[in-house]
Structure 1
Amino acid sequence: MHHSLIPNIIQFISHIDPFDKIPEESLREIASYVQITYLSKGEVVDLCEPGKEKALYIIRTGSMEQRKANGTLRARLGDEDLFGFTFLDEHMDNEKGYKAIALDNTLLYLIPHSALQSLFKSCPSCAEHFASQAEVRLKSAFDVVWSNKEKGLFIRKVEEIASSRIAIVTADQSIQDVAYEMRCVQNTSCAVVYDNNKIVGLMTDRDMTKRVIAEKVSVERPISEVMTLNPLTIKPDDLILQAASLMMQYSVRNLPVVQDNKVVGLLTTSHLVQNHRVQAIFLIQKIKYAKNIEKLETYTYERQAVFEALVEGNVAAETICKVMTMIMDAYMRRIIQIGIEKLGEAPCDFSWIVAGSHARNEIHMLSDQDNAIILSDDATDDDREYFKALTAFVTEGLDKCNYPLCSGHFMASTPKWCQPLRIWKRYYKKWVANPEYECLLNISVFLEIRTVWGNNNYEDILRNELHTNIRNNREFLSTLIRDAVKTNPPLGIFNSLVLENSGENKKVLNIKKYAITLIIDLARIYGLAVECEASSTQARFTAANEKGVMSDDAYKNILGAYQFILNFRFSHQLEALKKGEIPNNHIDPNSFGSFERKHLKDAFRIITDLQEAAKIRFGSI
């Protein structure tokens, strides 16, 4: 190539992802290897052609169309788009390849495979940006903005700061022996009490003072007589923020860290002293002590500030969702508590459950209410009048705090969703046995439930009921699959339009409908297939992978796609908030750069591949 062309090539590719991340010296070297070719309309680039050197293609001007081996449209590409990633893999199965056809007169830049290999040797960090696997490329999109120290409570896990010193004792040991174990052996403020290999209690140094010394209890008595029964615990991989929230909610100073019923550490309030970087933990505390709904309403902007700080810090999407869910939980619990203070104690046992994204711990700035009440089977008509008043108070209170009422009326204030346990069992049996449209809509909301107040045993009973019914009617999963694959993700972004599989082009991308919901639906199916107890999208895919129902590659790919798309939506919502606009899920393709187009295209293909895999695995059950 003539050296006079190099500056022009550098100027063009230097602002295209991923070339914008390459050191200047390396970029200049790459530019020197670029080959320029011109295609007339209709000319074909056969990437599978034997003996042809592999290359990465960049469209300088014009447009191209990718067609699979069977002739199916794969994508349409325009200025600044790249293709040929998959052919950089020497082990690529060429039968899975495609041809690229010029839709207009097109000018292409070709970067030979050998030149890219030289780049990777001199700059190894560049390799993942050009990886043939979409999952690896998506992962490279998550650049850290905050340092780990700055992210503090948001990304750190309990296991990172918990103490490994904790006394392990049995229920029949004397108070004297437990005190000795705590003070002289482990030098810790807390002891976990086991009975028959099950955690049954907790004893702290403060408990020793209040319950033993102050009450003059004989130190020869068994610890079981003075311990705190059924203590709260936390898992090693839970967020520190979750632990702090539990401590505040239940006014405890010690949380045993438990993995598979084995105590692996202890988290105390002193461990949290240095973690004051972001205000979410303080907002939760403010919510807990708010005296009325009017005071809670004033915290809306603080909640928005937390969301903005997380998104701007490029915190993992899963963590953002968890933090926003914890805040909504805090609002809901406090409003329920205020309602009970006004109306009096509930006349019967009940469980206030949340459903949908709230149950999945996937709350964001657009989340509305999805909730219900499970009453005990002995609830009377008079009891129902009490709950009619309570549910109206709570749902309206949440609405005032900017958690909108559900447009589909999936709320506890709707009589249909405030029922005794026996009726809820009947619902699940009917929904699984006859999943016509209305039943499918209902169960799609209540396929995930989580207790935020009251008797959490009801949640477990209903989840077991669901799994039992599905086990007895495997056709249900086939029905879910048929519904889940009715909608396909777009083929990509072309000429400022969203190119859909249907052949229609849309002016905006509905990121929820055409990406997020599709992934959530697939996670539900895979999770139900392995009877996963957890409700979150990531946990369901993880369970399916661990049970061998989902391959490692498919698992890594779909999680990478999901995280990228969530972060993409959060960034869009953040921009709207900064402009004083109401956030939504509709994104204008004109706002996309080459980075967004490339990674969205990868994510859409991953979703499509998993839809096809799910149809094969579950479609004919």
Structure 2
Amino acid sequence: MPLSHDQITRFLKSVHPYDALPADALDDLARQIEVWEVDEDAAIYDLGHPLPGVFVIYEGQVEITDENGSVVSHLGLRNSFGERGLLKDGKAATKARTHTPSVLIVLPPELVRELMNNHDVVSKFFNRTRGERSGPQSLATSAIDVLMAHNPATCPPDMPVQNAAKIMRDKHISSLCVTEGDTLLGIATLRDISGKYVAAGLAADTPISAIMTRDPVTLSPSDIGSDVLHIMMERGIGHIPISEGGRLVGIVTQTDLTHYQAVNSAELVRRIAHADTADQMADVTAEIPQLLVQLVAGGNRHEIVTRLITDIADTATRRLLALAEAKLGPAPVPYLWLACGSQGRQEQTGVSDQDNCIILDDAVTEADMPYFADLAKFVSDGLDACGYFYCPGEMMATNPRWCQPLSVWRDYFRGWIAKPNPEAQMLASVMFDLRPIGGAFELFEDLQGETLSEANANSIFVAHMISNSLKHTPPLGLLRGFATIRSGEHRNTLDMKHNGVVPVVDLARVYSLQGKLTEANTRARLKAAETTGVLSHSGARDLLDAYDLIAETRLNHQVKLAKSGGSPDNYLPPSDLSDFERSHLRDAFVVVKTMQSAVGHGKGMLG
């Protein structure tokens, strides 16, 4: 399909970082790009081959695989690929193949470099995409509170060495900090025990203070990784206690540094893609909180962080599907596993349940259904083992209601649209966030287009969906305060999920319904709504800025919990924020409330 200059320009305005370019630069860019039309199941490039440029998907779906043929990701509208290899050595580090007939926009290498040289926003985007923040440079510039182990193991100075050695063995650690109260007296390592205690043949009741290193060098949480590296290199040591105000708060070891460098989203995806059991995958997903800490500490925006976190869940799902088929045999008919909820929107953070379903080919028979029941149980049980806990509302493929032939799914959506009662509104809200994960992708293509057209044409249904989108409101109180949770376990906190990001998620879903937009991601929906005129430029900018601030605040709260050894959650005490942060967060909530009011009164945000 030949694309006009105007079509290309409008499209690029909806894709970051090109949306931030000046009008003349964007116009010039649109004249220099190439447009490729690629058939279904066709190779775009192969491993090690020279890359013709950076690709952006205008239409269709693309599958990225690694050198072993394992699926790394499925990409769709507005997703880009190829930049990592292009900017590294000009050669492909993965394989790319179309999953459906596709139209691709290609930015030639010289054009990419020109944009990076002339526009900081493009340079920052590609530098972040190709991972310049990963590896030794990121380690050297990261704050120590990201690198260190919190709550280090300690012992009193009079503890016998043998007892201290047992603690190290049982905790699988190589050092103990020797303390009196909060005061650090010294540090004892396995090397001290072997060299000073065992080799010297000291008595069994020798106190640890006799072999410890007294007054060890320490650093503070605000120092950076290079300080750790330089001291370790200069002094030939592998353990550095971290103190703050004279109080021991952590420790950094060579193992911590190695682990930090090893934890990145691509490495976790690789390990999951090669796992043989759900337990092996669970060992990998247990590292997600640490990855979350590193990604946020590296300055990545929330939409990048949540996309990378979601990629891990997608990979785990596809690997479990492959293991299920290896155990159960080939599927009797084509099927498609889809995610909804935060995974469907590619917005997972450090805490998430699972929301999924299966669409079956209409050739399926009753005799085939036990196979898919077993497959759904295998995958959902595996996801639960990986920390994606079962959905309390049973919005999962294990529920027979959500494992049905395509014709039944068509009836579901038509019924919800025709009779938008409260249950239909709730179900439609969840199912409008569907995103294919693995299987026969073509089962969803017509269904999505038909549903959006039918829903958009039914003004009563749209009105009910608007009403449903206003059920979650920002936590605004009187006199510029917050309306916190009043009772229960999370008393005096803000629910940054249901009263923070969800109101924006719901608004974006309404805009996508009004504009028949196929995007599932909230930020992508808002930008597409602006591009198509559903949302005004000013309205979109305000809501995007508000959403970004709310989402970043939520992520930072989860990171704070993860860094302290806790489990990430969505309940933020306002007292944890500075006056400046509270003021801006409240302003963001006011923007969301204003947009809700406009939608609720039937006013568009145009003009």
TM range, normalised to the smaller chain? 0.5 to 0.7
Instruction: Tell me the equivalent position of 1:348.
Output: 333
Q: What does residue 414 of structure 2 align with?
A: 429
Matched, 1:391 2:363: no
In structure 2, relative to structure 1, the CA distance for the partners of 1:536 and 1:241 (3 Å cut) is farther
The whole-number CA distance in structure 1 between the counterparts of 2:402 and 2:36 is 44
Task: Determine the structure 1 residue equivalent to 2:264.
Answer: 279
Q: Work out which of the residue numbers 274, 283, 296 in structure 2 matches 1:298.
A: 283
Alpha-carbon separation, structure 2, partners of 1:479 and 1:432: 10
Maintained 8 Å contact 2:433/2:520? yes
Residue identity in the other structure for 2:419:
N
Equivalent residue number for residue 80 of structure 2: 238
Correspondence for 2:358 among 373, 377, 380: 373
Counterpart of 1:402 (choices 387, 404, 410) is 387
Which residue is equivalent to 1:61? none
Shift of residue 260, structure 1, vs aligned partner: 5.5
Alignment partner, residue 107 of structure 2:
264
The correspondence for 2:566, drawn from 571, 575, 581, is 581
For residues 609 and 234 of structure 1, the distance between their equivalents in structure 2, rounded to whole angstroms, comes to 32
Paired amino acid for 1:264:
L
Alignment correspondent of 1:149: none
Residue identity in the other structure for 2:447 = L
Unaligned runs of 5+ in 2: 1-31, 40-44, 68-73, 87-91, 113-128, 136-262
Equivalent residue pairs, number:
398
Amino acid at match of 1:357: S
Q: CA deviation at 1:314?
A: 3.1
* Pair 1:455 & 2:422 matched: no
TM-score for the superposition, normalised by structure 1: 0.58
Report the Cα distance in structure 1 between the residues aligned to 2:36 and 2:574, rounded to whole angstroms.
58
Residue in structure 2 matching 1:311, options 296, 301, 311: 296
- Kept in 1, the 8 Å contact 2:61–2:102? The answer is no
Q: CA deviation at 1:491?
A: 2.5
Alignment of 1:193-272 (within 5 A): 238=80, 252-253=94-95, 261-265=104-108
- Seq. identity, %: 29
The verdict on how the C-alpha distance between 1:396 and 1:198 changes in structure 2, with shifts beyond 3 A counting, is closer
Q: CA, structure 1 residues 477+283, in 2 after alignment: closer, same or farther (shift >3 Å)? A: same
1:609 to 583, 589, 594: 594
3-state SS of 1:328 partner: helix
Question: CA offsets per residue over residues 474-530 of structure 1, 9 Å max, x none?
Answer: 2111111122224432335879863799xxx97221122222111111000011100
Give the superposition deviation at 1:549.
2.2
For 1:335 and 1:243, the matched residues in 2 are separated by: 28
Q: In the alignment, is the contact (CA less than 8 A) between 1:492 and 1:600 conserved in 2? A: no
- 5+ residue gaps, structure 1, are 1-163, 172-181, 183-187, 207-231, 245-249
Q: How much does 1:353 deviate?
A: 0.7
- Secondary structure of 1:374's counterpart equals strand
Three-state SS of the structure 2 residue aligned to 1:347 is coil
Which structure has the higher relative contact order (CA within 8 Å, separation 6+)? 1
Q: Distance in 2 between the 1:590 and 1:573 partners? A: 15
Matches of 2:60 and 2:481, distance apart in 1: 59
Is 1:412 aligned to 2:401, yes or no?
A: no
Q: CA deviation at 1:471?
A: 3.3
Instruction: Determine the structure 2 residue equivalent to 1:519.
Output: 504
Partner of 2:117: none
Q: Which residue type is aligned with residue 353 of structure 1? A: L
Write the deviation string for residues 178-200 of structure 1: whole angstroms up to 9, x where unpaired: xxxx9xxxxx74789xxxx9999
1:288 is matched with 273
From 558, 576, 579, give the equivalent of 1:594.
Answer: 579
Offset at 1:400? 0.4
Note closer, same or farther for the CA distance 1:375–1:189 as it changes in structure 2 (3 Å cut).
Answer: same
Larger radius of gyration: 1
Q: Provide the secondary structure at the position in 1 that maps to 2:359.
A: strand
How many Å apart are 1:612 and its aligned residue? 1.7
Instruction: Judge conservation of contact 1:496–1:590 (CA < 8 Å) in 2.
Output: no
Matches within 5 A, 1:442-481: 442-481=427-466
CA distance 1:499–1:301, shift in 2 (3 Å) = closer
**Residue 397 and residue 486 in structure 1: after superposition, are their counterparts in 2 closer, same or farther (change >3 A)?**
closer
Judging changes above 3 Å, is the alpha-carbon distance between structure 1 residues 391 and 403 closer, same or farther for their aligned structure 2 residues? same
Amino acid at match of 1:490: P
Relative to structure 1, the CA distance from residue 298 to residue 539 in structure 2 (aligned partners, 3 Å threshold; closer, same or farther) is: same
CA distance in 2, matches of 1:453, 1:252: 19
Q: Aligned pair in 2 of structure 1 residues 564, 529: CA closer, same or farther (>3 Å)?
A: same
Aligned residues of 1:492 and 1:601 also touching (Cα < 8 A) = no
Partner of 1:336: 321
Give distance in 2, aligned partners of 1:242 and 1:170. Answer: 22
Match runs of 1:148-167 below 5 Å: none
Aligned residue for 2:258?
none
Q: Which amino acid aligns with 2:354?
A: Q
